[in-house]
């Protein structure tokens, strides 16, 4: 068995050997790093802005139908809350409101599902295309690694290629 002093000495020597080896490897070829806010880079593209406007236009009639139904439900609720309303009338209003409430819920869920599915398709395609653009920028500028800002605590602003990636995307994939 080693004494405590000898074990400490061996651990120190081993740590120095490992550290020296790492410094030699790192010192030989510095790593070039870039930072990107991938979410912002994609969101700022002209294609995504147009896609968002197209989604709003496409689903506006359904949204308006839901708003109209919501107004009807609010009117029914106001009538039900009227003072001195006969119980039979209140029950009749509730019976009218139940199917409307179910219809509103169904319309809301369907709209949300359709919008989410279409948005995911758009974002998935745009994300893949942005990855290609970032790869080209990295290769052209000699970056060894590009890190997304979401997991970065600190970086120098000069390392940020977000705006360059957005401009490159807009050039490579012009909005239709």
**Hey, where are the domains in the chain?**
1-29, 31-172
Fold of the domain built from segment(s) 31-172: Protein Binding, DinI Protein; Chain A (3.30.910)
Question: Mean pLDDT score of the chain, rounded to an integer?
Answer: 87
d(CA 55, CA 57): 5
Tokens coding 15 = 């740590």
Backbone torsions φ then ψ of 118, nearest 5 degrees: -65, -40
Find tokens 């001195």 and name the residue. 84
pLDDT in tens, 25-59: 555 678 999 999 999 999 999 999 999 999 999 99
pLDDT value of residue 160: 95
- DSSP sequence for 76-140: HHHHHTSTT--HHHHHHHHHHHHHHHHHHHHHHHHHHHHHHHHHHHHHHHHHHHHHHHHHHHHHH
Query: Which of 3-7, 69-73, 84-88, 139-143 has the lowest average pLDDT?
Result: 3-7
- The model's pTM is 0.70
Residue from 139, 126, 137 nearest 161 by CA: 137
What's the Rg (C-alpha) of the chain?
30
């Amino acid at each position: 068995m080693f004494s405590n002093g000898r074990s400490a000495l061996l651990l120190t020597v081993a740590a120095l050997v490992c550290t020296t080896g790492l410094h030699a490897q790192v010192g030989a070829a510095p790593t070039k790093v870039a930072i990107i806010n991938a979410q912002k880079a994609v969101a700022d593209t002209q294609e995504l802005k147009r896609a968002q406007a197209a989604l709003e236009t496409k689903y506006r009639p359904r949204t308006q139908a839901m708003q109209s139904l919501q107004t009807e439900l609010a009117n029914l609720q106001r009538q039900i809350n009227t003072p001195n309303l006969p119980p039979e009338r209140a029950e009749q209003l509730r019976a009218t409101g139940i199917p409307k409430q179910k219809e509103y819920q169904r319309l809301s869920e369907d709209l949300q599902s359709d919008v989410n599915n279409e948005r995911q398709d758009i974002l998935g395609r745009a994300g893949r295309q942005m990855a290609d653009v970032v790869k080209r920028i990295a290769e052209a500028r000699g970056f060894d690694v590009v890190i997304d800002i979401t997991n970065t605590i600190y970086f120098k602003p000069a390392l940020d290629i977000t705006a360059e990636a957005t401009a490159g995307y807009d050039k490579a994939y012009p909005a239709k």
